[in-house]
Amino acid sequence: MNPFSKRTGSTSLALLAAVVMICAGFAMISEDAEAYDGATYAVQRGQSVNIPSGVDGGHWCSSSNANLYFANTWTWVGNGMYDSHLANGEQTIVLTITENLPSGTYTLRWDIFSVDDDCQSCSCTVIVRDPLSFSVSDASITCGSVYSATVVSGGNITGLTGASWLTYSGQTVSGVAPSVPGDYTVTVYCGESHASYVIHVVSKLAPTNSPANGTIILPK
């Protein structure tokens, strides 16, 4: 029996284990980077959003500047439309959208580098929206009539109170007025912002306006 055969086998197993550990390490690095890749962020024009870069101070130690492109074209957006603050080693990209960048869908791309000089390209989707604004005003409608109004822009309605007969979808409030007259103070919510207005539901036989010349117009 060869006295070195057992030790040689152990050495081979040790080398194989080391290779497996190295490969596993590289796989883990890729997974760390990909965990930050492919997400979607929404930001209004004139505001900023924080995006994780994937740099963790361990496997990944540095990063390059993030650039904004028109979605699916890889055409650079250009100077003056945005600012992406990302210094080497920082874990967060601070993306600021200027007022003159049109609303739409864009792609943000950046590279991060590991302690082993491995490089991972990352990207995410950035949806740029118009600034949030409400366009609400008091309204008068007759009992049983259909009501529909677009009351917000730059965002979607997230809640509504004050009138159980109303529903919302996207930026629009709609519903069929009840058969009993009444005044309804409606509050529309869009995230943490909100606005209120009054809907007057009147009888079909009641006048809805009275012009300055004294003529009263009754609904049919």
Task: Measure the N-to-C terminal CA separation of the chain; round to a whole number of Å.
Answer: 112
User: pLDDT tens for residues 77-100?
Assistant: 988 899 988 877 788 899 999 988
Looking at CATH, the fold of the domain delimited by 32-129 is given as Immunoglobulin-like (2.60.40)
Q: What's the burial of 112, exposed, middle or buried (CB within 10 Å: 0-12/13-18/19+)?
A: buried
Q: Residue 130's pLDDT is what?
A: 82
Per-residue buried b or exposed e for 179-214, using 16+ beta carbons within 10 Å of the residue's own CB: eeeeebebebebeeebeebebbbbeeeeeeeeeeee
Return the percent helix, strand and coil in the chain, to nearest 5. 15, 45, 40
CATH code: domain 133-202 is 2.60.40.10
Average pLDDT in the chain: 78
Q: Give residue 210's pLDDT.
A: 55
Q: Which residue has the tokens 């870069």?
A: 53
Q: What is the pTM of this model?
A: 0.55
Residue 213 pLDDT: 53
In the chain, where the domains are located: 32-129, 133-202
Which residue would you say has higher pLDDT here, 204 or 128?
A: 128
CB of 202 within 8 A of CB of 208? Answer: yes
Residue 51 C-beta-side C-alpha neighbours within 13 Å: 33
Q: Do domains 32-129 and 133-202 have the same CATH topology?
A: yes
pLDDT in tens, 36-73: 567 899 888 888 999 988 888 778 888 888 999 998 78
